[in-house]
Each structure stands twice: as structure tokens, then as C-alpha cells.
Amino acid sequence: MPNVLFDALLGEIANPGKVFLDVPGGGSVTFDQLETMTARVAGALQRLGVAPGDRVAAQVPKSVDAVALYLGVVRAGAVFLPLNTGYTSAEVAYFLTDAAPAVFVCTPASESALAPIAATAKALLRTLDADGAGSWPAELALSADGFVGVDRGPDDLAAILYTSGTTGRSKGAMLTHGNLLSNARVLVTYWQFTDRDVLLHALPIFHTHGLFVALNVALLAGASVIFMERFQVDDILRQMPRATSMMGVPTFYSRLLAQPGFTAELAANMRLFVSGSAPMSAEVHKAFMERTGKSILERYGMTETNMNTSNPYLGDRRPGTVGFPLPGVSLRICDPASGEVLQTEQVGVIEVRGPNVFKGYWQMPEKTAAEFRDDGYFITGDLGRIDPDGYVHIVGRDKDLIITGGFNVYPAEVEAAIDALPGVAESAVVGVPHADFGEGVVAVVAPRPGADLNETRIRDALRGHIAAYKLPKRVLFVSELPRNTMGKIQKNLLREQYGSACEGSA
């Protein structure tokens, strides 16, 4: 039995000497060099006693060595556990205690703080920095250039990714070799990636988007990757003429549009711009098309499922939608309480089933059982609807639904109305306690520079465009909305910060 995921990604290299990762200002790595690096990683893990199925955790900066670590873990038959580089020691302690990894790789700078935590979790600690320094490279130096792969089937675990934990305890989503490979294969075909592509990569690699979508797709297609440490708009503008495609979050695109140097000529070689991980406003879609003549392709995925839907590569990419279910993925809209399948245009919880859907939550059998229907559909917790043309619309998270005076308010609808107003850069709508209505609708708005906005003006502008019960009881202003590392607005923080905003409101 082969190692299903690794063999597909690097087992047979069509063009060994071709550059896979090009790091601006930092050299490049070919496909065959990366394969050798993964052999050294797998050998080191095996020498340290890592057995098939053991977890290997990593909280390290984005680098070529970090990519090799991911692939080497898979090659060794172990389970990769990437951790957000922004996690605190206390948060890391939870993940290590929960996942019980055999090896934990962190930065030399954080070693003193994390060593006691690793010891408590009985994980061997090694270090790796962005420039290749640390005890992990020394471990690799003892390994051979070759490695006899460890057999792993489609149902064996390849990775555990922890959910963001914005509500309650973080959960470890168990992703199999089959989950990751099936999704990457579908995306290569659906987005028409080939070995002629050059992907501009400025995403973090501790998350599904940057790690599994971007890198797995590029490896399967035999494409090259311009590997950026982070999104710096000036650097992106310099590299874009060399690229054919980019994957990003909405803030990438709004920041590009803010640059006069971002022109149609600069983007002329680009065939595909993909956006995900957070909703994109229709205004950004429109402005991007007007500036470049190119339509951003928006898709929808989750930590637990990888990608579920996508706007078409060929066809109408509709702003405000996430397109159609991907081939092999079944999607339906259901009543959250009864599970009844709803009809076209009815809002309910999105449920999906397919080879992309994860195996369950690590050491949480009851939570896993609660999140799956008897017929195998996963309850995503995202609220949505399907329009008459079959496009899927996301209207918010189930936890973000606001019930005010007995009426349901979907924040995305109110946010879209606010974002369309002149002078508004973006908005977030949350529900907070209200003495009379149970919950009051509160809008938090980030104005554009120089805009003259106030609460009365926004409320007056919304009247007649949305129902009276959807009108915000309060409109508050901030310079920018709080976001996590993947660009998602952290509504839990807004609810905490403005929880008393409706006190005394009528």
C-alpha cells in the first residue's frame, strides 16, 4: 500500500529540476531538492522514535524548511499539527496536552517558554527559525538523502488542524490522506492549474488555505510558487508580473486596490485571483473588475472540509456568492432545529457530504456525533441559501444569527446594505443584549479616510432598504475591525466590547 498523499504530491516528479519554491531574496528549491529535504525530515522523525499515526506539532515561521517539515511528516506516516504562530504559551499548552505529539518544533526564541510545556506533554522539543537556525536542522544533518516511505491509506490521518476556538474550546479536525488528496485533485481540475502556472503565495501555512489548498494544488499540478513570507503590498506588486495566479483573503484585494500602482497592465499575466477565508464585499469585486478587467473567484471552505464550493472558472462569478458545490461534494440547506431540507431561497444551515469532509474531532466522539447527520452530512454551522440558479450564498454563522423581538436577522444582509453606503470601508453587525427585544442589532463601521459619517446618517440611509426590525439600534465607529490571522472579522470580540451598547435603548 503506498503513502497516498505523499506519493501523489512528490512520489513521481515529472520535472525534477524545475523550481517549486522561489523565495524572493532567499533563493529557490527545485522539486527534487524538496523531495530530498522531505526524506531527511522523515528519517529524522523515524530516528527520534516517531511511529505511524504519531502527531508532530510545529509552531514555526513560514519557510521552505517548514514546507519540508509538513511533507516529511506525511512521508513518515505521522500526523502533522501546524500551530498558529500567534498562539500564546497558554494556548500552545492546551494543544500539546490535547494532541500529545511525539515531537514539537518551535522557534529558538520561544524555546525557554515552551520547553516546560513540551516536557509536561512528553513531546521531544526541537527548534527551527525562518533562517534555518535551530536544533532541528542539526537533527536533519544526521539523516540520509533517501527514505523508504511508510504505507498510509486514504483513511489514515495526515493532519490535525485546530479550529479557531472563537466560541468555546478549540477542536482538532482530523484530516485524512483521502480528504486532502481528493480536494486538491478537484481544485487542480476546476481551477485549471497546470505546470505552466506560477502561484503568488503570501498566505500563512498553518491554515487550510495556505497549506493544503495552495501548496497541495501547486504540487499536484507541477506548478511553481513565488513564496512570500507575508503579504506586503509593495512586494506583491513587484512579483505579480511573474505570476499567473494568486490565492488570498479579501483584505489582500482591498489593499491592492488602494495602490495607484496596481493597474491592469501590472496584472496582465494573471489568469486567476482566488479569494476565501472571509466574505468579500460586492464593492471590492466591482472595483477590482473595473481596475483590472478580471473577476475575483470566491470560494467557500472550512478547516473541517477544505473546499466545498467555488464560483466557476469559466462562467459567471457572482459577487456575494461562493458559487456551486465542487464535483463530488453534496450540499444542502436544512432547518437547524429539525434537519428538514429546505427549498430554494430559504435560509438555513449548510450541510455537506463528500470525500473532502474530515474524519471527526480529535478525542471528541460526542461532539463528532453531534455534528453529523445520520446520512453522513456534516453540519457546518454556516447559514446560507441557494438561489434559483444554484449559486450558494453565505449569510453568516449560526452563532451570529440575531433574534430581535422574535425576528431573525442575518448579519450579512445588514452588512451588505451598510457597505454599499458612500464613505463606508466595511462593517460588522452583531447582536447584543437588549432589555425589550432580547437582542439588539448593533453595527460597527469602519469609515473610509476623510468620510463624514455619523450614526443618524447611516440609520437614515438604511431606512427603506431593509426592514425596520433589521435597522441597527446603534451604529458605532472604529478605525478598523478586529481580524484574526486569516482575515476573518472577530465578532466575538465585538460582542464583548459593545455588549452594553443597547442599554437604555428603546
Hunting for cell 512570500 — which residue is that?
Answer: 228
- Give the per-residue pLDDT at 405: 74
Predicted confidence (pLDDT) per residue in 189-247, tens digit: 999 999 999 999 999 999 899 999 999 999 999 999 999 999 999 999 999 999 999 99
Query: Edge-to-edge strands of the sheet including 79-82?
Result: 124-127, 103-106, 55-59, 79-82, 157-162, 172-176, 360-361
pLDDT band at 168 (very low <50, low <70, confident <90, very high): low
Mean pLDDT of 380-391: 94
Please indicate, yes or no, whether residues 359 and 434 belong to a single structural domain of this protein: no
pLDDT band at 164 (very low <50, low <70, confident <90, very high): low
Helix (H) or strand (E) holding 253: helix 250-257
Final residue in a domain of this structure, among 163, 190, 217: 190
Asked whether 231 and 205 are in contact (CB, 8 A), the reply is no
Please indicate, yes or no, whether residues 390 and 442 belong to a single structural domain of this protein: no
Domain of residue 466 covers: 402-497
Predicted confidence (pLDDT) per residue in 93-132, tens digit: 999 999 999 999 999 999 999 999 999 999 999 999 999 9
Helix, strand, or coil (residue 430):
strand
Mean pLDDT of 447-469: 89
Q: How far apart are CA 194 and CA 135, in angstroms?
A: 37
Q: Is 19 inside a domain boundary?
A: no
- Fill in the amino acid letter for 33: Q
Please indicate, yes or no, whether residues 55 and 135 belong to a single structural domain of this protein: yes
Please indicate, yes or no, whether residues 109 and 144 belong to a single structural domain of this protein: yes
Please indicate, yes or no, whether residues 255 and 347 belong to a single structural domain of this protein: yes
Please indicate, yes or no, whether residues 143 and 9 belong to a single structural domain of this protein: yes
Exposure class string for 181-207: b at 16+ Cβ within 10 A, else e: bbbbbbbbebbebeeebbbbbbbbbbb
Q: Residues of the chain with pLDDT > 70: what percent?
A: 97
Q: Is 73 inside a domain boundary?
A: yes
Q: Is 256 inside a domain boundary?
A: yes
Q: Is 414 inside a domain boundary?
A: yes
Q: Which three cell numbers stand for residue 206?
A: 498553518
Q: Is 203 inside a domain boundary?
A: no
Beta bridge partners of 175: 159
> Backbone phi, then psi, for 243, in 5-degree steps?
-100, 165
- Tally helices (H) and strands (E) across the chain: 16, 25
Please indicate, yes or no, whether residues 164 and 273 belong to a single structural domain of this protein: no
Domain of 464, CATH number, reads 3.30.300.30
pLDDT band at 486 (very low <50, low <70, confident <90, very high): low
Final residue in a domain of this structure, among 190, 221, 247: 190
Q: Is 198 inside a domain boundary?
A: no
Q: Would you say the pTM of this structure is higher than 0.75?
A: yes
Q: Is 226 inside a domain boundary?
A: no
Helix ranges (H only) for 264-391 are 282-292, 365-370
Predicted confidence (pLDDT) per residue in 409-434, tens digit: 878 878 888 998 999 999 999 998 88
Contacts of 25 (CB under 8 A, 6+ apart): none
Predicted confidence (pLDDT) per residue in 321-376, tens digit: 999 999 999 999 999 889 999 999 999 999 999 999 999 999 999 999 999 999 99
Angle of helix 64-75 relative to helix 31-47, nearest 10 degrees, comes to 60
Final residue in a domain of this structure, among 190, 218, 252: 190
Please indicate, yes or no, whether residues 415 and 482 belong to a single structural domain of this protein: yes
Instruction: Give how many domains the chain has, as a whole number.
Output: 3
Q: Is 487 inside a domain boundary?
A: yes
Please indicate, yes or no, whether residues 351 and 485 belong to a single structural domain of this protein: no
Residue count (the chain): 506
Please indicate, yes or no, whether residues 440 and 389 belong to a single structural domain of this protein: no
Q: Is the pLDDT of residue 166 over 70?
A: no
Please indicate, yes or no, whether residues 390 and 409 belong to a single structural domain of this protein: no
Please indicate, yes or no, whether residues 152 and 293 belong to a single structural domain of this protein: no
Q: Give the CA dihedral 488, 494, 497, 501, nearest 10 degrees.
A: 170
Q: Is the pLDDT of residue 379 over 80?
A: yes
Q: How far apart are CA 350 and CA 68, in angstroms?
A: 35
Domain of 297, CATH number, reads 3.40.50.12780
